[in-house]
Chain A
Amino acid sequence: MSLLKNWTSPFKLRDKGIIGMNRRNIRYIGRYNKRHLYPLVDDKLKTKLLAQKYGITSPQLIGTVSTQFGVKHIGDMLHGHGGFAIKPAKGSGGKGILIIERVEDDEFIKPSGARLSIEDIERHVSNILSGLYSLGGAPDVAMLETLINFEESLLAFTYEGVPDIRVIVFKGYPVMAMMRLSTAASDGKANLHQGAVGVGLNIATGAALRGVQFDRPCYTHPDTGHDLASLVVPQWDTLLHLAAGCYEMTGLGYLGTDMVLDRHHGPMLLELNARPGLAIQMTNGEGLRRRLDLIEQQPEGVPVAQRVAFAQKHFARRSELVSDEPTVTHA
């Protein structure tokens, strides 16, 4: 019996509405995501241009570099900008992203305090162009964006890195959301399997439902010690509207949207994912199945505001973190 204690039965999973890889691939990605639409989300530059066209806020584009010849002019391009980020358009998993917090006397200062010269910046851009960070080593384009000023109320919940919000959008309805908080264990990265804390969010309010680190429940941020129960994402409605609008923008039926909150500009779209993972079910303590089934019964062509309202009404939940004495005691 002890051998089986780490295992559960498929019937229990089905009762909870948990979706497995196979079901996600066949029933949702295979059926709702048309292959020819993938490049729209796999190339961040295309996503960004599309987002601008559809009025979806995203970090402002300073410029792009697509030829090694253009690398020499990068200094002029950056002139007058304070902080900025350089990203490979086809990078994945946060690879090749260089953040410059501010510029002092021709020196570029990273958040860690390290100083880079313009030559260092040029070498980094040149590496991006030659495909060092792109999938399969294909030649790539470097994107230069203005820096995001993170919402201060959320900074207490993260260690070093960027807290980002993942919303699963199914047929245009936001169905489930979580926030990923980087920790010392995850080395400042927001990857759940590397030890970042995942916080399930109430679709109705943007308040935390429950926290999970390494698949186990957790109630405070392991590094900052901040109580997760007090976490509420500001401007939640705007964020949901943005996320839901990505359906019209891409045409992808089963979509993972990654958002961040800017101090001045509010929610912004960071990137899209046509094959979002299933860990969001762990952070919410709930399977996607029932929500997806409900959405599949809804008619097509419903406007964004109505879809968001529908989701907020049907997917509201009570937090497991606050005032629910029995759940706290078992920690």
Chain B
Amino acid sequence: MSRLPFYLIVGLLLVAGIAASVHRHIQFEIPWLPGEQRQVWEVEAVINFNAQGGPVEVNLALPTHQTGYRVLTENTASSGYGLAYQGDERGRRAQWTIRNAAGNQQLYYSVQMLVSPEARAPIQAPPQLTSSPWERPYDTAATQLIERAWARSANNMTFARELIRDINGEAQGENARLLLTQEAPSALIVRLLNQADVQAREVSGLLLEDGRRRQPLTTWIQVFDETAETWSIFNPVTGEQGRPENLLLWEMGGRAVLEVQGGTNSRVSFSMMTHHQPASAAVRNHHSDDTLLNFSIHSLPLEEQALFQTILLIPIGALVVVFLRVLVGIKTSGTFMPVLIALAFIQTSLLTGLIGFLLVVAVGLVIRSYLSHLNLLLVARVSAVIITVIAIISIFSVLAYRMGLNAGLTITFFPMIILSWTIERMSILWEEEGPKQVLIQGGGSLLTAVIAFLAMNNSLVRHITFNFLGVQLILMALILLLGNYTGYRLLELRRFKPITEDEQTR
């Protein structure tokens, strides 16, 4: 049995992988290291609507230069539509038009925003105060709300904060509830602020998080600070002042984000991802010529790119698992369960993820031990465990939220089916081999998951796997080589130690 074909395949994979990576490095000037780079956010807006068979006019608000972000390039994809960019002092907008369209329509707009801390928004004049009178009995309620907040505040900023708390906070009074029947909370806050001669407006923003898809815009409130001549941002729910680091303002003119004429069911959703570009290349746009050799994930739509950023990390996790099992000999429950747990850790952050995982598995084991008394068939039992896991996760989410731990909400990122199987396996292990084996295998799984997480969350690894597809071939070759390893595992050096001992005594 010759191993020649095997080594030939491994060699081919290695050569092809290295060649493809070097080609990308030289041809596209993608650096090996993620350092000395600028962070760029790619945001893609997808507009969906049903055209009614006549002329259609679509109007979408576009982001502009603003505090912390600068617009690099923008692209649209909209076959058959006429496109015009319009800009005035209240912001920029894109207008798509077509004479005849029917059925489901999709329009794409994508923009690259460069993160630059020194970027400033263009000076904007405060808008005219628009004040529309309330009808009875709302007018007295509004006046009372304003007076209450006014009395407890010192300036425009604190006034806005108090007003938001009165309307959205726990101290929500009858007046606020009455007015909320007429207006949405943020619109009501702006209207009341304007009524008290404070310049304010509603803005729409996007919370940037790497790899998110189908995100909506969120509403924020801007209040004009007359002394400093700047706009301050308030969270309309908590009344917190200040712009979150990752907030990209999309629409600042107080107008609708999306207007569609001649279509129904229109909506816009956003996908986003971040990557790093060399400071010089960040300004250049290299989407232009996609040949076959430039086989790059970057040629895909942004939504798929964000998905691939995660998918391309899985081989790294698999390599870690193969390494730990074949070379070290760590026992895990479920071969690739640790990789999935590590993927969940990427979403939840390590500490929250660990605590959440231990909580869910521990409670699951307790409940599962009762289920084993019921003598159920396997599929029914595991299904019952799945429902239990979902219940545990829901309860923990609600509890965490009540206690003000927003991090607890990320527990929902855990793969529930996998968790259920983990609980099932550990429970059987407990019954057959005792709690010690459960600790060994559970600990082994967690250790593997943490190591896989550290490897996959490393910015260098992310940079390399995402930008150099050839690395996947190298990983494949490494895994094949490991699969051919007949030597001892690290832990076997400990296991077989007693045999070597008598040799010395003889």
List A residues at the B interface (Cβ < 8 Å).
6-10, 12-14, 16, 18, 20-23, 26-27, 31, 93, 95, 127, 130-132, 136-137, 194, 212, 215-217, 281-282, 285-287, 320, 326-327, 330
How far apart are the CA atoms of A22 and B323 in the complex, in Å?
Answer: 12
Would B487 and A287 count as touching, CB distance under 8 A? no
Listed A/B pairs (8) with beta-carbon separation below 8 Å:
A13-B492, A13-B499, A31-B1, A95-B432, A215-B498, A281-B496, A285-B499, A285-B502
Q: In the complex, what residues of A have CB within 8 A of residue B375's CB? A: 127, 132
Which A residues lie within 8 Å of B494 (CB)? Answer: 6-8
CA distance A194 to B432 in the complex (A): 11
Q: Nearest Cβ in chain B — how far from A84, in angstroms?
A: 24
CB distance from A202 to the nearest CB of B (A): 17
A22 touches B378 (CB 8 A): no
A264 to B447, CA, bound (A): 53
Contact with A along B187-209 (1 / 0, CB 8 A): 00000000000000000000000
Indicate if the CB atoms of A131 and B432 lie closer than 8 Å. Answer: no
Q: Which 4 A-B pairs have the closest CB atoms?
A: A137-B378, A23-B486, A20-B488, A8-B497
B506 within 8 Å of A (CB atoms): yes
Distance in Å from the Cβ of B498 to the closest Cβ of chain A?
A: 5
A281-B499, A282-B499 in contact; A20/B379 too (CB < 8 A)?
Answer: no
How many residues of B sit at the interface, in one of the four size bands? 20 to 34
Other-chain contact of A13, B1, B326, B500, B506 (Cβ < 8 Å): B500
B493 touches A8 (CB 8 A): yes
- State how many angstroms separate the Cβ of B500 from the closest Cβ of chain A: 5
Given contacts A21-B492, A216-B498, 15 further A-B contacts (CB under 8 A): A7-B493, A8-B497, A9-B493, A12-B503, A14-B488, A16-B503, A21-B489, A22-B487, A22-B489, A31-B1, A93-B432, A131-B378, A281-B496, A326-B505, A327-B502
A-chain residues with CB within 8 Å of residue B495 when the two chains form the complex: 215
Q: Note all chain B residues with C-beta closer than 8 A to A93.
A: 432
Taking CB atoms, residues of chain B closer than 8 Å to A22 are: 326, 485-489
- Residues of B near A137 (CB, < 8 A) are 377-379
For chains A and B in complex, what number of residue pairs have CB atoms within 8 angstroms?
A: 86
CB distance A10 to B498 under 8 Å?
no
Q: Is the CB of A16 within 8 A of B329?
A: no
Beta-carbon nearest neighbor of A12 in chain B = B500
Contacts of B329 in A (CB 8 A): 21
How many Å lie between the Cα of A93 and that of B437 in the bound state? 15
Residue B227, interface by CB 8 Å: no
Q: Which residues of chain B come closer than 8 Å to A136, judged between CB atoms?
A: 378
For A136, A137, A194, A287, the residue with the greatest tally of chain B CB atoms inside 10 Å of its CB is A137
- Kindly identify which residue among A20, A27, A286, A327 contacts B489, using a CB–CB cutoff of 8 Å: A20
CB within 8 A of A18: which of B326, B432, B496?
B496
B484 on the A face (CB < 8 A):
yes
Q: Give the distance in Å from the alpha carbon of A132 to the alpha carbon of B378 in the complex.
A: 8
Chain A residues, CB < 8 A from B488: 10, 13-14, 18, 20, 22
Residue of B nearest to A25 (CB): B486
Q: Which residue of A lies closest to B496 (CB)?
A: A18
* Min CB gap A204→B, angstroms: 20
Residues of A within 8 A of B378 (CB): 131, 136-137
Q: In the complex, A217 Cα to B506 Cα: how many Å?
A: 14
Q: Say how far B482's CB is from chain A's closest CB, in angstroms.
A: 9
Residues of B within 8 A of A10 (CB): 487-488, 493
A27 to B498, CA, bound (A): 24
In the bound complex, CA of A22 to CA of B326 (Å): 7
Contact A282 B498 (CB under 8 A): yes
Q: Which residue of A lies closest to B492 (CB)?
A: A20
A26 with B500: CB separation less than 8 A:
no
Contact with A along B470-490 (1 / 0, CB 8 A): 000000000000001111110
Residue on A nearest B497 in the bound complex, by CB:
A8
Q: Mark B317-346, 1 if CB is under 8 A from A, else 0.
A: 000000000100100000000000000000
Instruction: List the A side residues contacting B493 at CB < 8 Å.
Output: 7-10, 13
Question: What distance in Å separates the Cβ of A303 from its nearest Cβ neighbour in chain B?
Answer: 27
- The interface residues of chain B lying within 8 Å CB-to-CB of A215 are 495, 498
CA gap between A136 and B425 in the complex, in Å: 10
* B496 / chain A contacts, CB cutoff of 8 Å: 8, 13, 16, 18, 281-282
Given contacts A8-B493, A8-B496, contact A130 B377 (CB under 8 A): yes
A23 to B329, CA, bound (A): 13
Chain A residues near B487 (CB, 8 Å)? 10, 20, 22-23
B506 touches A131 (CB 8 A): no
Selected contact of B505 from candidates A18, A26, A31, A327, CB within 8 Å: A327
* Residue of B whose beta carbon sits closest to that of A191: B433
Most buried by A among B484, B488, B499: B499
A27 → B minimal CB distance (Å): 6
Q: Within the assembled complex, what's the spacing in Å between the Cα atoms of A137 and B326?
A: 28
Which residues of chain B are near A8, meaning CB under 8 Å? 493-494, 496-497, 500
A95 to B499, CA, bound (A): 31
Given A10-B488, A21-B492, decide whether A326 and B326 contact each other with a Cβ distance below 8 A. no
CB distance from B330 to the nearest CB of A (A): 12
Write the chain B residue with the least CB distance to A286: B499
Contact across chains for A326 and B506 when beta carbons are under 8 A apart? yes
* A92→B235 CA distance, assembly (Å): 61
A12–B498 CA distance with the chains assembled, in angstroms: 11
Q: Which residues of B contact A13 (CB under 8 A)?
A: 488, 492-493, 496, 499-500
Nearest chain A CB to B413 CB, angstrom units: 29
Closest beta carbon of chain B to A161's beta carbon, Å: 16
Chain A's nearest CB lies how many Å from the CB of B235?
A: 51
Shortest C-beta distance, A59 to chain B (Å), equals: 24
Do the beta carbons of A330 and B499 come within 8 Å of each other?
no
User: Is B486 within 8 A of A287, CB to CB?
Assistant: no
Using known A-B contacts A7-B494, A21-B492, determine if residue A330 contacts B505 with beta carbons closer than 8 Å.
yes
Closest CB in chain B relative to A73 CB, distance in Å: 23
Q: Which residues from chain A contact B492 at a C-beta distance below 8 Å?
A: 13, 18, 20-21
The docked-state distance in angstroms from the alpha carbon of A330 to that of B498 is: 14
On chain B, the residues within 8 Å of A320 by CB distance are 502
- B434 nearest in chain A by CB position: A194
Partner of B377, one of A6, A20, A131, A330: A131
From A23, A216, A320, name the one whose CB has the most chain B CB atoms within 10 angstroms. A23
A208 nearest CB across to chain B (Å): 15
* A13, A22, A286, most chain B CB atoms within 10 A: A22
Cα-based distance from A194 to B437 in the complex (angstroms): 11
Chain A, Cβ-Cβ closest to B485: A22
| Cβ-neighbour of B499 out of A7, A18, A127 (below 8 A) | A18
Tell me, in angstroms, the Cα distance from A59 to B496 when the chains sit together.
35
Return chain B residues, CB-CB under 8 Å to A132.
375
B contact residues around A212 at 8 Å (CB): 498
A23 to B486, CA, bound (A): 4
Would you call B498 and A7 a contact (CB within 8 A)?
no
Q: Which residues of A contact B506 (CB under 8 A)?
A: 326-327
A9-B493, A21-B492 known; A287 vs B499 contact (CB < 8 Å)? yes
- A326 and B502 CA atoms in complex are apart in Å by 11
Q: What's the Cα separation between A140 and B493 when bound, in Å?
A: 39
Give which listed residue, A16, A31, A326, contacts B500 with CB less than 8 A.
Answer: A16
